[in-house]
Structure 1
């Protein structure tokens, strides 16, 4: 039987010792690395979360502040420790790609890769879906929506007689069968909000046919094309183009001036911000306006005659046929107008699109000036208000600021 020599034992001991030392240093190094990165302020990465992170606590000035101070410090460190942004992104990516899980309260994973944006506020997850399904929406709530929308439309018709309101059915309604079974089961317990409200508006004096809720048309489109991409909230591509064509031809009886062709390009999804670490690209059809003889412009430079106001609104666009004549359309919307505005250029000689999402940034004088420009100077033949379905309970607040503006 051989025995190890003193030299061999010494060498093995040294290797074991060095290994332990390296392990100890590596272990404690990993423990203190986030703190070092936090203190250095480097490699922190930007805030990729769709929320405001806790701010640095202020030193307490009295006993009441002293009692709150530990919780404030804890919240701050939880939100700002070193490598946190990277770890959040890695966690989201692993859960999404390995488990099909979505780590975002405002998003819901549906069937066949569909993702549903479920609420505009993180503190009320599923709020928008539940509202559309009719959960916690009382008869009094529905009556209030009818009266408010009716009042708005009366003002709109007084401003421009040929005016319409388009309430766009969103993905939880159009692709309800793609929602998870548990959410479909919840929705089946209630009466959907929009159909009854729209039907009541249609019976109001002077409003018959003025409020458009094209649910049956969009459901029929599903058999022909993708109405909504799987991983967006807003629409893009064939869905809005097909609806613009239906509205213009079948509803408004306008002849076609041109047909827009398009090419596919990948664009980041509009819900990308809710899921840092996961790449969500959307194949988007970009219309070839130049080929159709249409001058297209999006952004502040489109309206040099009211550039300052356009800069405040942000989401504005303009489309004009270079040689063909046709009616003028004024499209006033929330964020859902952006995806459809350009497609109306197939039927209108000129289209102006204004989103009202930032109208609160304008002064009363600026709103009055804008009202004169778009209704009197531009003098549209037709006005179309475009809002998504869940906005039925509040859509009138923003455009009403424009319609009611006074010098």
Structure 2
């Protein structure tokens, strides 16, 4: 006599299938519950859930859109991508984005300022070759200086050679010779006749000098886009003759401390944690009052946090004179080193200047340009920003008529 089938028999027979379906459904469930969290950190816009189709055309377009949404939103996506990026970097020394490239001798380079630009465009824009200065830039720089002079100001300008032209020997071999040449777009601009003679006399682009300094001192940490290190003190000294100051050191040298920092472009390389041992000025040990950020300027605290990238220093041992710096993001890395040559240094990056009202800019100018007889004005931008339009974007509202 046959025994009746156990009610659990079918479940046992299909247990493996059920387990497989359950296992495969976990990413879908996790994606539905935590999609927002998994969207962070990829430095791009991920696919959105497509709308319900309303006609044949939208119905035919639905599958690829739905597939893109599933690919961008499945559970544990962020963890898997981080693991993939780490493995790819460790095995092949490759980055998952055109924005970053591993060079030689352990150095990395920011090679593109976005995802919608040609690969290596951040390098080719500053190196010798067929790159040109953005149309209208020479005329704008001439106007910038003329306007400041009309306002009773006598600026000097430091154009910082960026990593690819200073540390060219660490670039991939196929482009290192090109970046080793000295006829860069900025060098050709200064050697030509498009800039007013007064502008050329008031501008320093220390390419050869910084290459020499970098052999002795840190100028560009190996995993950074920006500059940093004690070599910046020597660069600051190079600018002093533009104001008729001697190259000597009027105040004791600043002490140096060593700190571990994450790469300043770590947000572009999800999952790859690059760090650097960076040498910085020891302000506290050198008797220099230092401050970074909005809290440093209570005189315009209403919008100081908006400006964000600002710094201030006071050194009672230095010559009693004030330096005002209008800069891009390279400014706050060198501003403190100027405290050896000025009793007061006030640096304002113009990256967020578009967020200020006309009245706020007027009041900011009134404060920064006070006591003009006892101040020097330095404009500081890196070469890529100076030749591609960033300088004009940042400074135009500073010298335009109210």
TM-score, scaled relative to structure 2: 0.86
1:300–1:314 contact (8 Å) kept in structure 2: yes
CA contact (8 A) 2:158 2:239 kept: no
- For residues 198-347 of structure 1, what are the structure 2 equivalents within 5 Å? 198-200=190-192, 204-248=196-240, 252-253=244-245, 255-322=249-316, 325-347=319-341
User: Partner residue of 2:72?
Assistant: 79
Give 2:108's aligned residue: 115
Report the CA distance shift for 1:201/1:402 in structure 2 as closer, same or farther (over 3 A).
Answer: farther
Give the alignment's TM-score, normalised by structure 1. Answer: 0.85
Distance in 2 between the 1:210 and 1:97 partners? 46
Where does residue 106 of structure 1 map in the other structure?
A: 99
The RMSD of aligned alpha carbons is 2.9
Closer, same or farther: CA 310–112 of 1 in aligned 2, 3 Å: same
Tell me the alpha carbon deviations over residues 142-181 of structure 1, each in whole angstroms, 9 at most, x when there is no partner. 6743222222222233335431111101111011121111
Report the equivalent of 1:3.
none
1:99-120 Cα distance to aligned partner (Å, 9 max, x none)? 2122221011111111110121
Please report how far the alpha carbon of residue 64 of structure 1 lies from its aligned counterpart in structure 2 after TM superposition: 5.8
5+ residue gaps, structure 2: 1-11
Cα distance, 1:367 vs. partner?
1.2
Take 1:286 and 1:190, find their aligned partners in 2: how far apart are those partners?
Answer: 29
Whole-angstrom CA distance in 2 between matches of 1:120 and 1:163: 29
1:146 maps onto 2:124 in alignment: no
After TM superposition, the structure 1 stretch with the greater mean CA deviation from structure 2, 308-317 or 354-363, is 308-317
Pairing 1:132–2:131 present = no
Contact 2:218 2:279 (C-alpha < 8 Å) held by counterparts: no
Q: How does 1:337-376 map to 2 (within 5 A)?
A: 337-376=331-370
Residue 393 of structure 1 corresponds to which residue in structure 2? 388
Most deviating of 324-333 and 381-390: 324-333
Deviation at 1:43, TM superposition (A): 9.9
What residue ranges of structure 1 are gaps of 5+ in the alignment? 1-17
Three-state SS of the structure 1 residue aligned to 2:187 is helix
**Deviation for aligned residue 1:277:** 1.2
Tell me which of 141, 154, 159 is aligned to 1:162. 154
Aligned counterpart, 2:9: none
Q: Secondary structure at the match of 2:105?
A: helix
Change (3 A) 1:324 1:221: closer
Is 2:318–2:340's contact at 8 Å kept on the other side of the alignment?
Answer: no
Q: Is the 8 A contact 1:38 1:44 kept in 2?
A: no
Match of 2:50 in 1: 57
Q: Which moved more, 1:144-153 or 1:112-121?
A: 144-153
Alpha-carbon contact 2:325-2:379 (below 8 Å) kept? yes
Equivalent residue, structure 2, for 1:383: 377
Give the deviation of 1:284 after TM superposition: 2.1
Q: Which moved more, 1:104-113 or 1:128-137?
A: 128-137
Q: Over residues 329-368 of structure 1, what are the superposed CA-to-partner deviations in whole Å (9 max), with x where a residue is unaligned?
A: 0011010101101110011010000000000000111111
